[in-house]
Amino acid sequence: MKGHWNFYSEEELAWIKDRKEQPRRELYEAFIAHFDRREITLGAFKGLCKRKGWMTGRTGCYEKGRTSENKGKKLPYNANSAKTQFKKGTRNGRAEERYKPIGTERSHRDGYLERKIHDDMPLQSRWRRVHLINWEAENGPLPEGYCLKCLDGNKANTDPSNWEAIPRAMLPRLAGSHTLGYDDAPDELKPVIMATAKLEHAAREKQRGGNQ
CA distance 41 to 49: 13
Please report, for the chain, the start and end positions of each structural domain, with discontinuous segments joined by +. Answer: 10-52, 101-211
The answer to whether residue 66 scores a pLDDT higher than 80 is no
Helix residue spans in 102-162 (DSSP H): 130-139
| Confidence check: pLDDT of 3 > 70 | no
The rounded distance, in Å, linking the Cα atoms of 75 and 105 is 43
pLDDT at residue 80 greater than cutoff 80: no
Q: Which fold has domain 101-211?
A: Homing Intron 3 (I-Ppo) Encoded Endonuclease; Chain A (3.90.75)
- Does residue 79 register a pLDDT over 70? yes
pLDDT tens column, 134-162: 999 999 999 999 999 999 999 999 999 99
| Strands 146-150, 127-129: pairing kind | unpaired
Residues 185-208 pLDDT 10s: 999 999 999 999 999 999 999 988
Mean pLDDT across the chain: 87
